[in-house]
Every structure is written in structure tokens, then in C-alpha cells.
């Protein structure tokens, strides 16, 4: 069932090319604005600024792209899903699909950053692992919050307000690992942070899984 | 709430305010007399966390067995908890101005506390933007549980991982050191208990007030129809 739902999300996404390319262009313009406003190439930025800019760009594009997972859908399709699938299957498929989306966005963002702003990362493997873990955490938290926000009036504002405090813990851990990676520290230094990230992911996923049926019922 | 608990709360807080200002405190470098902030600042956080915890318990109760009563209690406990949090923030900032030199020092504990307040502000914004009462109660209960669980790493775990100027971490004199001092414990523990009791008392009053307000609305609605 979950696989079917993921498949459905993918086909729908590929059919609505405007949305996916919209997110791509959003990310691109965000990074390009960073590049222009700091007038880089002439004066390079230090590493702390790099990681702050990178995570801000990722945060905003991820919040905007996951937001549409429930907010964008039509009322009729909700009723249809309600009839054919269990809420657990729906939230799990949403989380997995959004993880894929977030990971793609993070990788694209990373590539664009390397192109325009430079790539000071020293340990690629560890950084990619961090991107994977944060993508999963972001999508677990944001999928549920998108479900909540879709039921309220001013969904878009609400999405941002509700999600920022919740994913902050995740973001702080990620920034810390990024700092370790930028400083070229040994992998063993970051093990604690990685475990924390994993633990926060588990908490967020478990909660989404348990709580989603309650918002789905209405 | 039982009457003797209310009397106990008032008595304890009288004692804390008089004892906290007049009784002898250990002399420590840098902190000096500002150590008395412990009696007024730290109990606020104990109170806030307790009230938020009770609020989450009522949210869980609401999801398992929906009733207007548990929703009302969850909201009011969060409300009073938020007031405690703001007071804790203000007393902490006042202390930081003398001990650290500026009101906002960007300390991990300060930032974590600010995020905790942000979570509950978001909770009230969510409640404000859903029209349907039943849906509002359910969505906010879900967010309350989710946000509380996501907040715990922020205020309890991360500040312990990073270096901090806050007393009690990074080798600064803190809780454990005061704990060894029986004179301070004599005022500090009553302060914590007194403020928690006071918070619960205020909340029960507000819950009753809200219940009566709702009843008045119902009667007025009936009249107009």
C-alpha cells in the first residue's frame, strides 16, 4: 500500500511539472540572491557564513516544498484517500516521498553552492550522511505540520510559524556537524551529533506516525 | 484544588519572598548578592515545565477521549505556563544584565528558552486560525504533543552539550554547589513548590472562568435563536 502511495505521489509530481520546476527555480534564485548580495567571487565569505547561508537556503526551500504535500491537495482527493488507505500508510508514504524530495533539494542546493559560492566541505561522505538524516527529519516533522496547517485558515503563514520551532533542534545539530566538517575535524568528533540527529529523527517520526490519525479523521 | 493547598501556596510564597531577600546567602565570586535570583528565577522554569507537562497530559487525554473540559484545561495550563515562561525570561534577563553585562547574551539556555516560548506562541496562533471548535481542539492537541516532544531536546539536552555561561554548566558554580548549601535549599525548595501550587491554582480559576463564559455564550445563543 505504502509503495502504491509513493508511486502515486511520484507520478502526480511528474505530471505537474510546473510545481517541481517552481521549487527548483525558487532554490536557484535564493542561492543566486545570496551570491549577489554578498558580491562573492571578489571577497570570499568565511566558513561560518557559508554554513549559515546554506542551511537557511535549505530550510526555506524545504519548508515551502513540503508545505504543499497536504495544503495543495484538493478536498475531494482527501475523501478518496480516506476511503482507500489507512492513515498510517498515508503518513509513512508522505514521509518517505518527502524525504526523497528534501534530499534532492539539499543535493541540488549543495551543487549550486559549490558552483557559485565555493565548496569548503572537507569530508564529503559525512556531509552527505548529514544531509540524508536532516532530510528525513525535516520531512517527518513537516509532513505532519503540513497536515495540521492544511486544516486551518491562513495555511502558508501557519506552516512557517508552526514548523520553525519544531525543526530548530534538528537544524542546530546539523549546523554543528557542518561546522565540524568545515573545520576538517576527525569523524569521531561528530559521532555524538549524528546519534543525536538520529534520535531526534526517531522521536519526530514516531510522533508523526502516532498523531497523524487524529488529524486525519476530520 | 483543596483549600489547604491554597493556604500552603500563599504561606510558602510569603516565606520565600521574605526569606529570599533577608536570609543569609553564601558569598561566591562574581555572583555575590545576585545569587538570590535563584529563589525567583529558577522556580519559574520549574513551574513552566510542570504546567506545560500537565497541559500535554490533558491534550493526550483529549485525543483519547474528546471532551470540552480537557481541551479547556490543556489551553489554560499552556496559557499560565507561558506567563511563567515570560516571567522566567524577564527575571533571567535582569540577572544576566548584572552578571554577564547585557540583557541578552545569546547563551544556549537563553536561546532554548526563547524557542520554548515561540512554540507556545505558535500554539496560540494555531488556535486562533481554526474556526471549527472541535477541529481547533484536536489540531492544537496534536501540535501541543508534537511540539512538547520536539522541544525537550532543545531545552534539556542541547544546552548540556554546548559550552554555556549559565550557572550549573561549563564549570560555573551552579545548582549542585547550592545544593550543598543547606541555607539556600531551605528557601529554594519551598519556592519551587509554592510557585507550582500557585500556577495550578491560577489555572483552575481560569478554567472555571472559561467554563462560565462558555455557558453565558450558550445562553445568549439560545436567546437569539
If you count residue pairs, one on A and one on B, with CB atoms under 8 Å apart, how many are there? 88
Angstrom distance (rounded) from CA B213 to CA B216 = 5
> Could B150 and A165 be called an inter-chain contact, meaning their C-beta atoms sit closer than 8 Å?
yes
CB A210 within 8 A of CB A145: no
A141: nearest CA partner in chain B:
B146
Check residue B82 and give its pLDDT.
Answer: 92
Determine which of A6-15, A138-147, A178-187, B71-80 has the lowest per-residue pLDDT on average. Answer: A6-15
Q: What residues of B are in contact with residue A204 (Cβ under 8 Å)?
A: 150
Q: pLDDT, tens digit, for every residue of B177-205?
A: 554 566 777 778 888 888 898 899 999 99
Which comes out higher in pLDDT, residue B76 or B184?
A: B76
B124 part of contact set with chain A, CB < 8 Å: no
Given a cut of 60, is residue A204 above it in pLDDT?
A: yes
Q: Identify the weakest region by mean pLDDT among A65-79, A183-197, B130-144.
A: A65-79
Q: What is the pLDDT of residue B111?
A: 79
pLDDT exceeds 90 at position A39: no
Interval B46-53 mean pLDDT: 90
The residue of A141, A214, A216 whose CB has the most chain B CBs within 10 angstroms, and thus the best one to mutate to test that interface, is A214
pLDDT at B52 over 80: yes
Residue of B nearest to A158 (CA): B126
Supply the pLDDT for residue A45. 74
What secondary structure, in 3-state letters, does A78-94 show?
A: HHHHHHHCCHHHHHHHH
Q: Report the candidate in B153, B141, B57, B72 with the shortest Cα–Cα distance to residue A148.
A: B141
pLDDT at residue B104 in the model = 80
State chain A's mean pLDDT as an integer.
84
- pLDDT at B31 (0 to 100): 64
* Cβ separation A153–B119 shorter than 8 A: no
User: Cell triple for residue A72?
Assistant: 495543495
pLDDT band for position B99 (cuts 50, 70, 90):
confident
How far, in Å, are A206, B85, B187, B190, B195 from residue B14 at the CA level? Answer: 45, 21, 11, 10, 11
- Which of A93-97, A109-113, B63-67, B105-109 is the least confident region? B105-109
Phi, psi (5° rounding) for residue B75?
-65, -45
Domain boundaries, chain B: 3-215
Q: How far is A111 from chain B (nearest CA, A)?
A: 30
B142 with A211: Cβ contact below 8 A: yes
What is the CB neighbour count within 10 angstroms for residue A68?
20
Which one is predicted more confidently, B47 or A75? Answer: B47
What is the average pLDDT across A158-172? 86
CB contact under 8 A, B154 and A169: yes
The per-residue pLDDT for B224 is 81
What is the pLDDT averaged over residues A97-101? 89
Lookup: cell for B36: 538570590
Given a cut of 60, whether residue B98 has pLDDT beyond it is yes
pLDDT band at B60 (very low <50, low <70, confident <90, very high): very high
Residue of A nearest to B140 (CA): A148
Q: With an 8 Å Cβ cutoff, are B129 and A207 in contact?
A: no
Q: Which of A44-53, A160-169, A194-203, B62-71 has the lowest mean pLDDT?
A: A44-53
Q: Does B129 touch chain A (CB under 8 A)?
A: yes
B130:A164 CB<8 A: no
3-state secondary structure chain B: CCHHHHHHHHHHHHHHHHHHHHCCCCCCCCCHHHHHHHHHHHHHHHHHHHHHHHHHHHHHHHHHCCCHHHHHHHHHHHHHHHHHHHHHHHHHHHHHHHHCCCCCCCCHHHHHHHHHHHHHHHHHHHHHCCCCHHHHHHHHHHHHHHHHHHHHHHHHHHHHHCCCCCCCCCCCCCHHHHHCCHHHHHHHHHHHHHHHHHHHHHHHHHHHHHHHHHHHHHHHHHHHC
pLDDT value at residue B159? 63
Is A158 in contact with B125 (Cβ distance < 8 A)?
yes
Does position B157 have pLDDT exceeding 90, yes or no?
A: no
Q: Is the pLDDT of residue B80 over 90?
A: yes
Q: Where are the domains of chain A?
A: 2-216
pLDDT over threshold 70, residue B168:
no
> Who wins on pLDDT, A156 or A178?
A178
Average pLDDT of the residues in B199-218: 91
| Interface contact A172, partner B, CB < 8 A | yes
Question: In the Cβ-directed half-sphere of A51, how many Cα atoms lie within 13 Å?
Answer: 21
Distance CA A200, CA B149 (A): 9
Amino acid at each position: 500500500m505504502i509503495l502504491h502511495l509513493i508511486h502515486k505521489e511520484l507520478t502526480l509530481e511528474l505530471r505537474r511539472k510546473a510545481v517541481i520546476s517552481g521549487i527548483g527555480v525558487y532554490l536557484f534564485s535564493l542561492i543566486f540572491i545570496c551570491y549577489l548580495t554578498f558580491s562573492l567571487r571578489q571577497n570570499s565569505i568565511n566558513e561560518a557564513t557559508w554554513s549559515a547561508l546554506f542551511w537557511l537556503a535549505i530550510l526555506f526551500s524545504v519548508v515551502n516544498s513540503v508545505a504543499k504535500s497536504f495544503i495543495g491537495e484538493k478536498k475531494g482527493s482527501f475523501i478518496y484517500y480516506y476511503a482507500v488507505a489507512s492513515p498510517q500508510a498515508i503518513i509513512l508514504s508522505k514521509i518517505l516521498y518527502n524525504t526523497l524530495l528534501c534530499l534532492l533539494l539539499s543535493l541540488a542546493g549543495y551543487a549550486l553552492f559549490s558552483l557559485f559560492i565555493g565548496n569548503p566541505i572537507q569530508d564529503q561522505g559525512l556531509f552527505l550522511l548529514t544531509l540524508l538524516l536532516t532530510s528525513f527529519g525535516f520531512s517527518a516533522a513537516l509532513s505532519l505540520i503540513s497536515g495540521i496547517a492544511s486544516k486551518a485558515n491562513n495555511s502558508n503563514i501557519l506552516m512557517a510559524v508552526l514548523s520553525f520551532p519544531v525543526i530548530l533542534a534538528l537544524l542546530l545539530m546539523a549546523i554543528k556537524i557542518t561546522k565540524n566538517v568545515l573545520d576538517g575535524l576527525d569523524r569521531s568528533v561528530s559521532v555524538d551529533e549524528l546519534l543525536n540527529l538520529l534520535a531526534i529523527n526517531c522521536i519526530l517520526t514516531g510522533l508523526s506516525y502516532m498523531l497523524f490519525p487524529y488529524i486525519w479523521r476530520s | 484544588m483543596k483549600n489547604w493547598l491554597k493556604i500552603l501556596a500563599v504561606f510558602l510564597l510569603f516565606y520565600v519572598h521574605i526569606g529570599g531577600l533577608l536570609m543569609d546567602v553564601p558569598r561566591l565570586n562574581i555572583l555575590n548578592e545576585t545569587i538570590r535570583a535563584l529563589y525567583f528565577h529558577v522556580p519559574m522554569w520549574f513551574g513552566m515545565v510542570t504546567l506545560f507537562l500537565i497541559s500535554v497530559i490533558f491534550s493526550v487525554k483529549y485525543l483519547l477521549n474528546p471532551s470540552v473540559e480537557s481541551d479547556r484545561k490543556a489551553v489554560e495550563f499552556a496559557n499560565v505556563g507561558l506567563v511563567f515562561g515570560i516571567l522566567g525570561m524577564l527575571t533571567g534577563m535582569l540577572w544576566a544584565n548584572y552578571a554577564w553585562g547585557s540583557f541578552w547574551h545569546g547563551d544556549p539556555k537563553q536561546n532554548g528558552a526563547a524557542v520554548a516560548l515561540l512554540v507556545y506562541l505558535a500554539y496560540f496562533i494555531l488556535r486562533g486560525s481554526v474556526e471549527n471548535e472541535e477541529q481547533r481542539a484536536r489540531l492544537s492537541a496534536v501540535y501541543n504533543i508534537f511540539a512538547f516532544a520536539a522541544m525537550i531536546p532543545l531545552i534539556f539536552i542541547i544546552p548540556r552539550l554546548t559550552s554555556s555561561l549559565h550557572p550549573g554548566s561549563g564549570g560555573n558554580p551552579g545548582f549542585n554547589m547550592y545544593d550543598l548549601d543547606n541555607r539556600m535549599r531551605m528557601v529554594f525548595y519551598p519556592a519551587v513548590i509554592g510557585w507550582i501550587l500557585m500556577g495550578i491554582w491560577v489555572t483552575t480559576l481560569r478554567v472555571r472562568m472559561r467554563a462560565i463564559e462558555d455557558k453565558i455564550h450558550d445562553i445568549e445563543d439560545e436567546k437569539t435563536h
